[in-house]
Structure 1
Amino acid sequence: MVSKVENFISVFFEQGDASHIEGFIEDAFSSCPSAYPDYESEINIGDRCLNYCIDPRCVVDYLLNIDAGLSDYQKRVLVSRYLQETLGLTADEQNWLTLNDQNSLIYEIYNGLLIAQNLNRCEREDCGLTGGYHEIVKLVRAGEILTADDKKELLTFFSILKCDDSELYSCFRTAQQNPGSSIDLFLMSIKQSLLTNNNALLDGCDNLPAYTDRWFELSTFDPLSVLAVRTKLEQLGEEYWIQTLENASNTNINTKWWKTAPSVNMDFFGIKITQFPNKPFPPFTPFTPQEFFDYLQDNFAAASFLGVGNACEGSIPTIQTYFEYNQPTDYNEWTIDSGVPAVFTISMPDDGNVICTQHDIANKYWTFSTFNAPGWLEGDSWDGFHPVSGNRRFGLIQNPDGSYTFYTSGVDRLTGWWHRIIPGEGFAFDKADELWKCFLDNIKTFVINNGGTVSTDYDCTTVRPKWQELRNAIKQGCDGLASSINNFPCEQAAPCE
């Protein structure tokens, strides 16, 4: 028992500070199992837990909850040193907690470690809480103002990372515990790249085609800049929301690195129409370009294109996707009014929702933006993260040779992208590619069946990170073999060929 008490004092007290309470500490080691039955498992702090034979948290709680004669300062030192041992804080961080009257933060973390042991993700282990709380200490010490939501998001971020990619989590923990080290500087360089350029993950593709400007437009368009969209969301209630583009441009930099949502997909799927079809209703005359665009927009959620019963739904089992109006009022907004802000539900394995946020008749395009609705993504491993957000445009443009191209083009951004670079994974856009190719097939069928002509070759381009190569590059930095990633590995493909 003496060795246990001495070990505890050497870690949690200044030399000589605990001589008057050695008896209380000895009582704690004897009384903890019965006084605190909730402590059934040990928190392994290096090898010390083997010496304690009980969770040191129990001894700390025992000393805080009895009249052991500890001053407020001694209690603060006791708890901050427990946090230092548990979270792996540096000596400077522990001293900052103790000497700068950080009582509120100290006890917030101390109580949080007990209340939220696993965030419902891992069985009987902290699953990232130590990394999350350590990051909170580092950020607050650096002067960052964190809201309750910020802290919750950080805990969730590290919880998911620990459970889904323990190697990358260990890299973050090494950086936290060794500020200024090569690994710390390496991760900081990646964070900074994403904070200042939301397209950084795709910058490695430097031979992009002419529609780069359109992708930039889509990546920077903020749906909440549209009054009708904001009004619609207010009417639907607070459970409906759009992820705002906080770091959409270098002039509006988001300093909270864990909230960055970089672009992880830019695509373009187009079909060239050389002769417009006849109208499938009297007087059966050929569509003008404007009439064709209006017809396709009005009937977008019909079986001819992407509504219930469309050909894609039956011919490609892996898709089984169709669009339908969320409410009867959305039909009127879409077909009678301006189209903004009609809402569509997308029936697919993980049902989604989109809202029309732009409709430009003169330039012949509309834009859908993804948004969150109650029940979306329930049970998914992402928990608190809304993974994909993006804007997708549908439109009709004239080509230099006088023909027209109907297209859909999208930019998708990924919150929590760190969690997707685990071995063998990336974010699967293949099914989306199949859907948009099938959508072009439906347009081709409609045009041909009604006397029009189209090109047999589609114009398709996708730009995405090479996830496995990206992981390998990050692993090199985490192993101390690289100081930065000059160009994020990226792949440009033509999926319709």
Structure 2
Amino acid sequence: MVCEKDYAGSGGTSTGSGGYNTEVCDYYLVTVYDHSTNGTKNVWYTYISEENCRIVWIAEQAAAGTTTCPSGTGDGEIPVIEPNNELIDALVALLLENPDLLLNIPCEELAKWLEIAQHAVPQQVQDKISYLDKKFGGYSLLTLPNANGYTVNMDYFSVTVSQLPTGLTAESLLSKIRTDLNRFVNTDISSFSPSREVNTGFDEMALWLSNNPVGAVLSIEIPADDGSVICSDFSRRHWRFSTIKSPWDYDHPVSGTREFGFTQNQNGTWTFYTRGVDRFTQLATSEAIAWMVGLGDKFKDPDSLWSSLQSGISSYVNNNGGQANVNNPEIWRPSWKSVKDVLMGNKPISDLGCK
């Protein structure tokens, strides 16, 4: 592998002593930091995808062999020196020990999102979108593979319910969440409506509130960037939204699938959740630059929305004779290029080199 070196000289972009050295090796831009803390030698590795020029993984490797996340990249905080062959060898050894480090997601975690990522929109939903596009124009499904985001968002926000609200079953609680969704989320972030500006020729409100809402089109009011979805799957235990382009909301900000549902646990409790897999539909240059340098995170508002759903479910349960606790969210955002074949079912997870 041939690498090009760009040496900044003493000080470089850091206020500490020494300089830094950057090596561009095919897919990853690798910067290796070497510093000592209380006599313990540590090595920090920063991996940056050449495809999108943003950090995808940072780790601190101490002499004892532990790996933790550092508080920063080192610029302005940590004295750095030019890496040498010893440090490069340490990098190679680290990757040999754990080949999936560059993925920014453990392989066992990746498996949890495969079903959602590979969700096939049923023919009846495809037929409705085709009909609407022929009649009105401007309709299409927005799929995960055809999006333009450099990263793929995989998130899971859940609430554990140890006692259901008085008079409700798990199925009826999920139905209440679905049919009164705005009651459970912060509508300052987003609000869901099957009727706002929707002129499809179908009674979308009646369909959405029915016992089989597959095919219902909803408009989501999002500050500065509205979007539309269609219900593409439904059972007593879950429903799924697939993102679409519509003539009133244009492109949804992200493309992919989101599931809402519940599972019953072995200890008799229930977990209510939303799990999503999506990518930015369009990634404007300014957004890409902000994401690269850490000045902006376009996933921030969606994260806040689904966190508000957790709070909404928990509050409703606790205020109506039940007992619920909010769980920590699970969020992974690896490079799409590194995981797309596995997520789309074209290759097994084992092909990523995971142990």
TM-score range, shorter chain: 0.5 to 0.7
Offset of 1:421 from its aligned partner? 3.8
| Pair 244,466 (structure 1): closer, same or farther in 2 beyond 3 Å | closer
Query: Is the contact made by 1:263 and 1:411 (CA closer than 8 Å) also made in structure 2?
Result: no
Match of 1:333 among 207, 224, 232: 207
- Alpha-carbon distance change, 232 to 263 in structure 1, aligned in 2, over 3 angstroms: farther
Could you tell me whether the CA contact under 8 Å between 2:189 and 2:305 is conserved in 1? no
Is residue 297 of structure 2 the alignment partner of residue 409 of structure 1? no
Structure 1 match to 2:243: 370
After TM superposition, the score normalised by the length of structure 1 is 0.42
1:305 maps to 184
Rg larger in structure = 1
| Unmatched 5+ stretches in structure 2 | 1-23, 29-48, 52-99, 339-351
| Distance 1:213-1:365 versus aligned 2 partners, 3 A rule | farther
**Is 1:266 aligned to residue 160 of structure 2?**
no
Distance 1:264 1:387 in 2: 13
Q: 2:130 aligns with which of 222, 234, 240?
A: 234
Match of residue 118, structure 2, among 220, 223, 226? 220
Deviations 1:264-323 (A, max 9, x none): 211000000000001xxxxxxx3222222223223325xx224xxxxx23xxxxx44211
Alignment check: 8 A CA contact 1:323 1:347 kept: yes
Larger relative contact order (CA 8 Å, sep ≥ 6):
2
Aligned counterpart in structure 2 of residue 205 of structure 1, from 101, 104, 107: 104
In 2, the alpha carbon distance for the partners of 1:446 and 1:290 equals: 15
Provide the secondary structure at the position in 2 that maps to 1:406: strand
The code of the aligned residue for 1:399 comes to: N
Cα offset, 1:398, TM superposition: 1.4
The one-character-per-residue Cα deviations of 1:359-402 (angstroms, maximum 9, x if unpaired) are 122xx11110111112435xxxxxxx876201110000112322
Map of 1:426-437 to 2, 5 A cutoff? 427-437=297-307
- Displacement of 1:459 after TM fit? 3.2
- Which whole-Å CA distance do the structure 2 matches of 1:447 and 1:339 have between them? 24
RMSD value over aligned CA atoms?
Answer: 3.6
> Which of 292, 315, 328 does residue 445 from structure 1 map onto?
315
Q: Relative to structure 1, is the Cα distance of residues 395 and 372 closer, same or farther in structure 2, using a 3 angstrom cutoff?
A: same
Give the structure with the larger helix fraction: 1
Q: Matched residues in 1 for 2:153 and 2:244: separation?
A: 17
2:150·2:335 contact (CA, 8 Å) conserved in 1? no
Is this contact kept in 1: 2:148–2:279, CA < 8 A? no
Q: Is the 1:202–1:264 contact (alpha carbons within 8 Å) kept by the matching residues of 2?
A: no
C-alpha spacing 1:398/1:386, structure 2 compared with 1 (3 Å):
closer
Where does residue 76 of structure 1 map in the other structure? none
Amino acid at match of 1:296: I
Structure ranking higher in strand proportion: 2
Match of 2:328 among 459, 469, 477: 459
Q: Which amino acid aligns with 2:179?
A: D
Deviations 1:76-127 (A, max 9, x none): xxxxxxxxxxxxxxxxxxxxxxxxxxxxxxxxxxxxxxxxxxxxxxxxxxxx
The CA distance in 1 between the partners of 2:300 and 2:160, in whole Å, is 23
SS of corresponding position for 2:152: strand
Equivalent of residue 360 in structure 1, options 235, 238, 247: 235
Q: Normalised by the size of structure 2, how large is the TM-score?
A: 0.57
Write the mapping of 1:235-250 to structure 2, written as runs, cut at 5 A: 235-237=131-133, 238-246=137-145
- The partner residue of 1:323 within 176, 183, 192 is 192
Instruction: Give the number of aligned pairs.
Output: 235
Secondary structure class of the residue paired with 1:371: strand
Shift of 1:186: 5.8
Letter in 2 for 1:290: E
Q: Percent identity?
A: 31
Following superposition of structure 1 onto structure 2, how do residues 10-409 of structure 1 map, counting pairs within 5 Å?
A: 204-207=103-106, 212-223=110-121, 226-237=122-133, 238-246=137-145, 263-278=151-166, 286-301=167-182, 304-306=183-185, 312-313=186-187, 319-326=188-195, 327=198, 329-349=203-223, 350-361=225-236, 364-376=237-249, 388-409=254-275
Structure 1: runs of 5+ lacking an equivalent: 1-182, 192-200, 248-258, 279-285, 307-311, 314-318, 378-384, 471-486, 488-497
- Partner of 2:306, secondary structure, is helix
Conserved 8 A contact 2:151-2:335 = no
How far apart, CA to CA, are the structure 2 residues paired with 1:389 and 1:289? 29
Q: Which residue identity is paired with 1:300?
A: L
Sort the Cα spacing of 1:293 and 1:432 in 2 relative to 1 into closer, same or farther, 3 A.
same
The alpha-carbon deviation at position 465 of structure 1 amounts to 4.5
